[in-house]
Amino acid sequence: MRIVQALAPVVDLVFPPRCPLCGEGIGGQTGLCAACWGELAIPGEPACVTCGRPFGDGVPEGAICAPCLESPPRHDGIAAATLYNDASRKLVLSLKHGNRISLAPMMAGLMAARLTSVDAGYIVVPVPLHRWRLWKRGYNQAAELARAIARRTGAGLAVDALVRRKATPSLGGLGKKARKRALSGAIGVNRRWAARLKGAQVVLVDDVLTSGATSDACVSALKRAGAQKVVVACFARVLDEALDLA
């Protein structure tokens, strides 16, 4: 860490830091310019006590949203750093498909800020990639975020606690039942972590939470393994109806 800090001025001289969204010059290699920080949509309060879905004004504290009332989730809360909009989408795509792994610490910092109760007693687990997709991409963006969150919170890290046993198609455009069928049997617990997960408090990490089908499959696998608590943490959550409330 000291070596990185000592070399920072040299790196800044050779590669002047620029905002990853707009390209404007900024003060450090990790971060955004002031204007682009303002483009991020941060979930506000009041919010669903179960899943963190933002409400409009006038909703009493402790209220539960309609989706959670209709189908109580197996997770123990969702911590979303941002709502999915143009700004967060660009960051996610840069991390996920643009090889901008250097963005992970900044994005994880925003996620960790929503995980105020997470400490050394937790285990941070990323949503897994299938081995062929991991081989093609070269890294798992969720694992990069998980590493940075573990460093910031002091929690344990288990990058291989979950395994994707079969490749799954893109879930976009699929209905709820079709998503469930596609993920059936796809995600399981690595035997090496089975004993550690019994009674554990877990933070499940992903870059984007869309329908929740993948995270639900991961939560189910962790709970079957005996995890006591599973909190889902994501950088961006797709809730179009909540963007005006952020």
DSSP string, 198-244: TT-EEEEEEEEESSSHHHHHHHHHHHHTT-SEEEEEEEEE--GGGGG
Q: Which pLDDT value is given to residue 25?
A: 87
Q: Which pLDDT value is given to residue 3?
A: 43
Residue 75: phi, psi to the nearest 5? -75, 175
Q: Would you call the peptide bond into 46 cis, given omega within 30 degrees of 0 as the criterion?
A: yes
- The pTM is what? 0.89
Is the backbone of residue 82 left (phi > 0), alpha (psi -120 to 50) or beta? beta
In the CATH scheme, what is the code of domain 41-245?
A: 3.40.50.2020
Q: Which pLDDT value is given to residue 99?
A: 84
In this structure, the strands spanning 187-189 and 162-164 are antiparallel
Which residues is 156 bridged to in the sheet? Answer: 123
Residues 6+ apart with CB under 8 A from 242: 43, 53, 54, 83
CA–CA distance, 5 with 15 (Å, rounded to integer)? 15
- Taking 50 as the pLDDT cut, the residues of the chain under it are 1-14
Structure tokens at 170: 């893109």
Residues 6+ apart with CB under 8 A from 54: 43, 44, 45, 46, 47, 83, 239, 242, 245, 246
Q: Where are the domains of the chain?
A: 1-39, 41-245
Q: Which pLDDT value is given to residue 243?
A: 83
Q: Which pLDDT value is given to residue 57?
A: 82
Q: In one letter, which amino acid is 30?
A: T
Helix, strand and coil in the chain, % to nearest 5? 40, 15, 45
